[in-house]
Amino acid sequence: MVAALTAGCLDTDRPLALGTLERDRVALTATVAELIVDLPVAEGSPVTKGTLLIQL
């Protein structure tokens, strides 16, 4: 009986998705039209916050 009473409390309008989201690419759009002068980090290298990724 408790299951029948609590079944009405479930939010079935929204789908539920469990898991992780992984991406192998990130698309960035340029806000300026400049030439790339240097790419100091090799593709696939780990980076930390503040690491220079591209020099215009």
Cα gap 47→37, rounded to integer Å: 19
Q: Which residues contact 52 (CB under 8 A, 6 or more apart)?
A: 40, 41
Give the residue ranges of the chain where pLDDT is below 70: 1-12
How do residues 16-28 score in pLDDT, each as one tens digit?
778 887 777 778 7
Residue 29 makes CB contacts below 8 A (sequence gap 6+) with none
Domain boundaries, the chain: 26-56
What confidence score (pLDDT) does residue 16 get? Answer: 77
* Residues 14, 20, 22: CA angle, nearest 5 degrees: 120
Residue 40: its pLDDT value, please? 94
